[in-house]
Amino acid sequence: MLWMVGIIGALVALVVVLYNRLVGLRNGSESAWSDIDVQLKRRHNLIPNLVETVKGYAAHEAKTFEEVTAARGRAVEASGAVAQGGAENALSRAIANVFAVAEAYPELRASQNFRELQQELSAIEDAIQAARRYYNAVVRDLNTACDTVPSNFVASWFKIGKKEYFELDEPEARQAPRVDFSS
């Protein structure tokens, strides 16, 4: 009889350990997503300043500015890793168009304000990538735990589910837009 109590105690201890691990991974993924969200908000807040700076030099490029404003709006409203990734891809393409417009204006490229905004955007893009890598690593660990025995039983009992990865599909969206000022 004592051995049955020991087995039941061991099983309860295993469930507790697995549950705590799953909760830690779930909370870690939520914290990591929060880090991504902070960086994306920094990026979203920088976009209007960038557009206004370029607009001052290239006012006739209204379509480009409307596209970046619309893309920013969609990115701000997106929720969830997949939707956010798609919206951020579109925003990156729109930002690249703004930098392409800036190429035609040497006085804009020489502007201290424009250079500072570009450097800040580059730093934010790097921070987003670092936060994305961390988030995806935590999500990978959570998803693996939700798929492997015996933690998958504990995950289903306590309704701890898998999370989506935050992906940037476009290769050009994986890097900060680059502008060559050497010419």
The residue written with tokens 């589910």 in the block is 161
In a domain, 37, yes or no: yes
Contact 129, 81 (CB under 8 A): no
Q: How many domains does the chain have?
A: 1
Q: How far apart are CA 22 and CA 6, in angstroms?
A: 24
Q: Range of 130's domain? A: 20-174
CATH number of the domain that residue 118 is part of: 1.20.1440.20
In a domain, 92, yes or no: yes
User: What pLDDT sits at residue 171?
Assistant: 47
Q: What residues contact residue 61 under an 8 Å CB cut-off, 6+ apart?
A: 54, 55, 101
Digit-by-digit pLDDT tens for the chain (183 residues) are 899 999 999 999 999 999 999 999 999 999 999 999 999 999 999 999 999 988 888 878 888 889 999 999 999 999 999 999 999 999 999 999 998 888 888 888 888 889 899 999 999 999 999 999 999 999 999 999 999 999 999 999 999 999 999 987 654 444 555 555 554
In a domain, 90, yes or no: yes
Q: How far apart are CA 115 and CA 152, in angstroms?
A: 51
User: What pLDDT sits at residue 103?
Assistant: 85
In a domain, 55, yes or no: yes
In a domain, 3, yes or no: no
Q: DSSP characters for 71-92?
A: HHHHHHH--SHHHHHHHHHHHH
In a domain, 166, yes or no: yes
In a domain, 79, yes or no: yes
